[in-house]
């Protein structure tokens, strides 16, 4: 299997979540209300799955290996764009978290910000994924031998294996801090 295999499988799950988020925007717009628990779940998906697990493997393994290769100018430029888009996704999610916290405290004006950031995620992710699936991943294949692809896959599995432990350690540490506060 090529290294892009599991990444493309993950893209399909991210797309499914994006469609659910898209439907939630219509609900928010028709009722004038947001369910903060839904936003928390969407944020957790984006942060833990899309960012830490998925972008994590892209940046820390695939892009790291590609950066050691003599990439064409176009491929290097696209890789930089993809990394910038990951950063943009993180900033958008952070702003969404902050707006949801304001909404919970009773600030109704945060609703517009929440809808705006959800719209941004719905708009940005499919385009990012398409650029990887259709342009960058096929181009990246040319820089690796089959053995190198296999080695990256092994590293992917190891990376995934660790994520769940890091995630729940941080959950427990967060709750421990809240108790002390």
Q: Which residues bind Fe ion (CB under 5 A)?
A: 58, 132
Taking the least distance from each CB to Fe ion, the nearer of 85 and 98 is: 85
Minimum separation from the CB atom of position 88 to Fe ion (A): 11
* Separation between Cα atoms, residue 59 and residue 82, nearest integer Å: 9
Instruction: Report the Cα 95 to chain-centroid distance in Å.
Output: 15
- 44: tokens are 């957790």
Q: How far is the CB of 10 from Fe ion (least distance, A)?
A: 7
In the complex with Fe ion, the residue whose CB is nearer, 58 or 65, is: 58
Q: How far is the CB of 6 from Fe ion (least distance, A)?
A: 10
Shorter beta-carbon distance to Fe ion: residue 2 or 115: 2
Q: Nearest approach, Cβ of 12 to Fe ion (angstroms)? A: 11
**Nearer to Fe ion among residue 51 and residue 113 (C-beta):** 51
């Amino acid at each position: 299997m090529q290294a892009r295999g599991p990444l493309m499988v993950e893209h399909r799950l991210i797309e499914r979540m994006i469609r659910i988020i898209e439907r939630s925007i219509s609900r928010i717009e028709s009722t004038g209300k947001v369910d903060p628990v839904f936003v928390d779940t969407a944020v957790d998906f984006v942060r833990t799955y899309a960012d830490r697990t998925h972008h994590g493997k892209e940046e820390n393994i695939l892009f790291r290996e590609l950066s050691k290769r003599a990439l064409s100018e176009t491929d290097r430029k696209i890789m930089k764009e993809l990394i910038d888009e990951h950063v943009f996704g993180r900033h958008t999610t952070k702003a969404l978290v902050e707006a949801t916290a304001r909404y919970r405290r009773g600030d109704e004006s945060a609703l517009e910000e929440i809808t705006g950031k959800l719209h941004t995620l719905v708009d940005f992710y499919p385009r990012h994924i398409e650029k990887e699936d259709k342009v960058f991943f096929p181009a990246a294949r040319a820089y690796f031998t089959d053995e190198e692809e296999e080695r990256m896959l092994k590293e992917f599995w190891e990376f995934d294996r660790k994520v769940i432990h890091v995630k729940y350690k941080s959950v427990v540490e967060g709750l421990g801090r809240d108790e002390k506060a």
